[in-house]
Structure 1
Amino acid sequence: MTIKDIINRIKTDKTRLGITLYAPASSSDIVKFEEILHITLPDDIKTFYSFSNGFESDEDMFRIIPLEEIVDNIKDRNSFTESNGDFHIAEYMIYCDTWTLHVDSNDSSQYKIYNKTLNTIVLTNSFSEFLNVFLNKGVFDGLYSWRENLANKTK
């Protein structure tokens, strides 16, 4: 499933999914974000933010975080990031939990989305897959079950 498939699904089913979209980020918003964070966003994530600068959902107040909020939060890095350039791209219940993006500084097409509590579990290297899991099953039956299944495989 591509990011365009995810975008089309959200456009078609946003009411049923309980999703409120934010206004799209402009190309200059994205460039400014990349300059401030000294990164290049992966193309699929740029495509998504060009469609919607994040969203909020009825599902446990899950959100894809808007770019300007990510910039504001970067000043307050916490122990839930693995390295200095990482940032939270999704959160739920007003930052009770977060999902974090790590982009390879040498190749922006190489990235991972992880969740760190006591230990770090890399969920995926696909924003489309991450969103698809959330859209299909939500936070608990989707994202948390996914994390738990991956954690069990690494034991």
Structure 2
Amino acid sequence: MIVNKHLDEGITINAPATLSDISDFEMHIGFSLPTDFREFYLTCNGFGCNEDTFNMTPLEDILLYEQNFGNNWFYFSEYMIYSDMWGLRRTTTGQFEIFNGSYPDKSMTSSLTEFLQRFITGNVFEIGGLYDWHDELGVK
């Protein structure tokens, strides 16, 4: 659905990550990825959209810069060349939370599927998109 929506503006889909890629990544971040993240990266190792310069960051690119990950968290998505980012963290109770890098104390969801559905609906700035979702949740 994301590819079809962004064909006219331009989209690049990366080749899938391997199980070895995922295992190496998990070793660096200190936890096993939730199922939906594993499935995503085994389907494609990220993508880049020209519209809003939005990217789902490939695993190897996340690990290039220490500010993109830490023990029990990492940034998996960004727009406008790191103007804003979204991350995943494992909480002390073992649950997962997706958060916006500008408001790291506020959880948005635990579901990558829900995150991507919001992007499909309204990209970053349109009605129903990621920033509209931030407003609905009181993140901003």
State the TM-score, normalized to the length of structure 2.
Answer: 0.85
* Preserved contact between residue 41 and residue 103 of structure 1 (Cα < 8 Å): no
Does residue 1:29 correspond to 2:21, yes or no?
A: yes
The equivalences for 1:122-133 within 5 A come to: 122-133=107-118
Q: Partner letter of residue 35 of structure 1? A: M
For 1:86 and 1:112, locate their aligned partners in 2 and report how far apart those are by CA, in whole Å.
9
Residue 14 of structure 1, CA deviation:
5.4
The equivalences for 1:68-83 within 5 A come to: 68-73=60-65, 75-76=66-67
For 2:59 and 2:104, locate their aligned partners in 1 and report how far apart those are by CA, in whole Å.
26
Per mean C-alpha deviation after superposition, the further-off stretch among 54-63 and 111-120 is 111-120
Higher helix share: 1
Higher strand share: 2
SS in 2 for 1:139: coil
Larger RCO, structures 1/2 (Cα 8 Å, 6+ apart): 1
Gaps of 5+ in 2: none
Q: Which residue of 2 aligns with 1:6?
A: none
Alignment partner of 2:12 out of 7, 20, 31: 20
Pairwise CA RMSD:
2.5
Q: Partner letter of residue 82 of structure 2? A: Y
Alignment partner of 2:48 out of 32, 51, 56: 56
- Percent of aligned positions that are identical: 38
Q: Partner letter of residue 121 of structure 2? A: N
* Preserved contact between residue 85 and residue 102 of structure 2 (Cα < 8 Å): no
Does residue 1:88 correspond to 2:79, yes or no?
A: no
Residue 90 of structure 1, CA deviation:
0.3
* Preserved contact between residue 47 and residue 57 of structure 2 (Cα < 8 Å): yes
For 1:117 and 1:76, locate their aligned partners in 2 and report how far apart those are by CA, in whole Å.
13
Q: Partner letter of residue 74 of structure 2? A: F
Does residue 1:147 correspond to 2:139, yes or no?
A: no
State the TM-score, normalized to the length of structure 1.
Answer: 0.77
Alignment partner of 1:45 out of 34, 37, 46: 37
* C-alpha distance 60-151 of structure 1, shift in aligned 2 (>3 A): same
